[in-house]
Amino acid sequence: MEIKRRDFLYVTAGAMATVGTAAALWPFIDSMNPSADVLALSSTELDLAPIQTGQRITVVWRGQPVFIVRRTADEIARARADDGNPDLIDPMADAARVQRPEWLIVVGVCTHLGCVPLGQKSSDPHGKYGGWFCPCHGSVYDTSGRVRRGPAPRNLDVPPYTFLDDLRVRIG
């Protein structure tokens, strides 16, 4: 079979059209990748040394507040005492929510409709269980971030985190 000049031109034009289309579409496809500022927010490192026992702080991770609490021995004991409580809306042991008993790290967004619960400041209401109180619809959380009174359907979320050493943590 003999290749004609016309066939060669068709194949060449098709190849050029394919390359041109790919070159034109690449910027559009590449624009779907996360930007550098979004990638930078994907994890947050925090020095825990300045946080005193009993103190609560709020940091931002992925645009959401994250509550970090250096719990007192009394708060740890209260959280552990309620581990087997059948009245918990979303039963979960305190040990399953923390990597180290002294430190509680939870996303500070109510699991009902996304409000930010009160309780990070000493002047805020902490609710009956010493944790957080959501002013929007009245959900109450305990010192382990477990929902004790609804309408929130589940506990405060625990973000992925790892301890880099005794007093440094990476969230995300």
The H or E element containing residue 76 is helix 73-81
- The one catalytic residue in 100, 121, 128, 137 is 137
Q: Torsion-angle region of residue 163: left (phi > 0), alpha (psi -120 to 50) or beta?
A: beta
Buried b (16+ CB within 10 A) or exposed e, 3-42: eeeeeeeeeeeeeeeeeeeeeeeeeeeeeeeeeeeeeeee
Q: Which residues contact 3 (CB under 8 A, 6 or more apart)?
A: none
Q: Distance between CA atoms of 126 and 148, rounded to whole angstroms?
A: 12
Q: Is 112 a catalytic residue?
A: no
Q: Which active-site residues does the annotation give?
A: 137
